[in-house]
Structure 1
Amino acid sequence: MKTADPRSRPRVVQLRCDPAYGSHPRAAAACAALIPAQGDPARVRARQEFCTRQYDPVRATATGVWNRRPIRYTQTFVNPCMMRNETGPVFYF
């Protein structure tokens, strides 16, 4: 969700892993990133790309269950590029 725009609506997808499916457009890649992170988006190690310093804040939120353990994640990033750098394909939709 873009936080600087009051008209912004959250984009919501569903993701299930093992096997990867749901409404997430990159379900297999997102699951591949979450498996070594034990389902925690904060532990994902994504590839770094060059990002501009443009201020266009976005908030990423994930709630769910991973191996019977509840997951709650919320983080605000300076822009979408920085979000992808931190979370890889998990929030790339």
Structure 2
Amino acid sequence: MEPIVAGALTLASLGSPAATAPTSLQLNAHDTTGRVAAVSLACDPARGTHPKSDSACAVLDSVNGDFARLPLHDQACTLVYAPVEVTATGVYRGQRVDFRTTYPNRCAADAGSSGVFGF
């Protein structure tokens, strides 16, 4: 006789709303020379035109999509002041995103966002 195993239904087995809600973002960078760069980023699975979409999604997940809390990564940058304004608009895990900030240069934007704005 085979044992009977009762299954338990948990929220984890249903998938949490945060894990299943869509992420679709437009990231832009505009510097003082007039250079504009724009990429798309979607997560679960990571895709879009962002050159490192996998790691960008992982970084965003680590701060629950709060762009103001993006961690720094250790990277040497020049002290040349060439401001770059970055924006992120769209949806992260079902929550509206409208973020804007300015970094001293493109390298600082990459380092200051752990690669999210490294394009």
Deviation sequence 1:25-49 (CA, Å, 0-9, x none):
1110110111011112221113122
Please identify, of 36-45 and 26-35, the stretch whose mean Cα deviation from structure 2 is larger.
36-45
Structure 1: stretches of 5+ with no match in the other structure:
none
**Could you tell me which residue of structure 2 aligns to residue 14 of structure 1?**
40
* TM-score between both structures, scaled by the size of structure 2: 0.69
Query: Equivalent of 1:70, from 96, 99, 113?
Result: 96
User: How much does 1:86 deviate?
Assistant: 1.2
Write 1 or 2 for the structure with the bigger share of strand: 2
Question: What is residue 44 of structure 1 aligned with on the other side?
Answer: 70
Answer yes or no: is 1:79 the counterpart of 2:105.
yes
Report the TM-score when normalising by structure 1. 0.87
Quick check: which has more Rg, 1 or 2? 2
- Of 48, 53, 57, which aligns to 1:31? 57
Aligned residues: 90
1:17 partner letter: C
Percent identity reads: 38
**Which ranges in structure 2 are unaligned for 5 or more consecutive residues?**
1-29
